[in-house]
Amino acid sequence: MISKALISALTDHLPQAVIVFDQKEEVVYCNDSAAQFWQRDSQRLLGKQSSGLFHADVMIQEKIRGVLNSGNVFRMGGYVLKTPPLQERGAEIVIAPVRNKTGKVKQAVITLLESTTLQET
């Protein structure tokens, strides 16, 4: 199993926002880029519900729930975010399941990369 320290070392300096939601759709991990996206300290994002982080982006909430329930990966390019302070940013979004040793979906990890092609238009 990969340690939390290794996960942090691998993700903390990525340009993508990385957020991990548990089965209750609560944030259990976020990297520095996610904290910058939401203009908050990463500790303040922990425990937040997906509905709180993406309150104006119902489709993202539904996709997180879908990944947690089905185990399928969801990808979307060029999505324009609606939730403040992210509103009007274009993003490439991937939501993937994290499985436990028995293969059951334990968490969902979402990565958001701000789309430079949408920023320039």
Q: Does domain 16-120 have CATH number 3.30.450.20?
A: yes
pTM: 0.87
Per-residue pLDDT tens digits for 60-80: 999 999 999 999 999 999 899
Amino acid at 65: R
In angstroms, the CA 2 to CA 4 distance is 7
Question: Do residues 37 and 51 lie in contact, with contact meaning Cβ atoms separated by under 8 Å?
Answer: no
Per-residue pLDDT tens digits for 21-66: 999 999 999 998 999 989 888 888 999 999 999 999 999 999 999 9
